[in-house]
Copies of this chain bind each other. A is one copy, B any other.
Amino acid sequence: MMLYDCSTAPSPRRVRIFLAEKGLTLPTVQVDLRGGEQFTPAFRAMNPGCTVPVLALDSGAAISDIIAICRYIEELHPEPALMGRDAEERALIECWVRRIEWDGIYAIQEAFRNSMPGLEHRALPGPLPLEQIPALAERGRLRARHFLAWLDTRLADHAFVGGAAFTIADISAMVTVDFAARAKLDPPEHLRHLRRWHQDVSSRPSAKA
């Protein structure tokens, strides 16, 4: 097994934190995203989507989606459970993760990639060069602010995003909030439930991964 990673990118960080919570380490290759290594023929042969993380298996197959990688690891190493303990919990945690991705990560990505100098032709990850759309950056900022306010409401009466236990929903939300800060979308001071939770989850040793 080999994990293709990039230590400065938010997406593979979700997998790194997941592994750290499991107490696992995997042999890892750093992919030079800034240098465009994800667009080389060798990398494309493994993941035509040109993204990290990728988990290359001994069978020759490559898992190129964050949640699919985590689910695969969860099946092999069920403890501590980070994706739910029964069918209902697993389904509900999947809903939280999807919501965090759709309303959070993709919104911040819209804001970031459609405004950042250096990403002029890279408004989406992947092999297709796409021009920035300034109105989309604006829409992303609006959506991201709504997401952060929603997350604060959710955390008003729950210790963690999924409820009483730390799960992959918290990992996803923490990475999202930290990515938001990089896009100058820090949570405002008055979102105190979000800030309490963010401090909690950021103090776990896994957060350094």
Contact = CB atoms under 8 A, between A and B. Distances in A.
B72 A91 contact: yes
Nearest to A70: B91
Contact of A87 (B75, B92, B95, B150): B75
Interface string A135-159: 1100100110010001000000000
Copies of this subunit: 2
Contact of A88 (B61, B91, B103, B146): B61
Interface residues of A, number: 37
Interface in A56-96: 57, 59, 61, 63-65, 67-69, 71-72, 75-76, 87-88, 90-92, 94-95
Given A65-B98, A135-B133, A143-B128, A90 B75 contact: yes
B91 A71 contact: yes
A121 to B, nearest CB: 12
A63 B135 CA distance: 33
The 9 residue pairs across chains A and B that have the minimum distance between CB atoms: A68-B94, A75-B87, A72-B91, A68-B91, A65-B95, A63-B91, A65-B98, A133-B135, A68-B95
7 contacts: A48-B150, A59-B88, A63-B91, A65-B91, A65-B95, A128-B142, A133-B139
Interface of A: 48-49, 57, 59, 61, 63-65, 67-69, 71-72, 75-76, 87-88, 90-92, 94-95, 98-99, 103, 123, 126, 128, 130, 133, 135-136, 139, 142-143, 146, 150
